[in-house]
Amino acid sequence: MIEIYSQKIKEQHKEIKAIINELREDVYSVEDIPENTIWIALKLGQLNAILHTHLKFEDDFLYPCLIESNNQYTAETAAKFSEEMGELAQKFEAYIRQYIGTPNSIREDMMKFVKETSSLIEKIATRIEAEDKELYKLLTANPVNCPLKK
């Protein structure tokens, strides 16, 4: 089971990183926003979809499984990651409502959009890197009997 969970996380992280890198290229300068608004909105929609799937997987399967571990460090680290990601997920949901849920909101204040987008994708990227470093270790070093998603 652990191999399946680990592989799923790796695939999702790879996809999230790719979208973040694309966004970094087009959301670093206000001058680039007008000609790339539709593309940026599509990429944000993709990021929203994959993050939603990723978070659902973590919340419903991965973190509960790790929190049930007999290893105290594994259980505490998983609980910490779960709590921190919940806060980041709420910020991302508010961001998506603001910029994707409202037509033309990206163009209304492009400087604010660039600043908020850069900040948020850096937080997500930092989070993914932390998960890459810690979660794989937790999964492999402290195998637990996680149920397989049906």
- Which pTM value belongs to this model? 0.84
Q: What angle do CA 66, 70, 72 make, to 5 degrees?
A: 80
Distance of CA 78 to the CA centre of its chain: 16
pLDDT in the model for residue 124: 94
* Phi, psi torsion values for 70, nearest 5 degrees: -75, -15
Q: What residues contact residue 79 under an 8 Å CB cut-off, 6+ apart?
A: 63, 67
The per-residue pLDDT for range 116-139, each reduced to its tens digit, is 999 999 999 999 999 888 887 877
pLDDT digits (tens, 9 = 90+) for 28-58: 788 888 888 889 999 999 999 999 999 888 8
> Tell me: the pLDDT tens digits for 20-32?
999 998 887 888 8
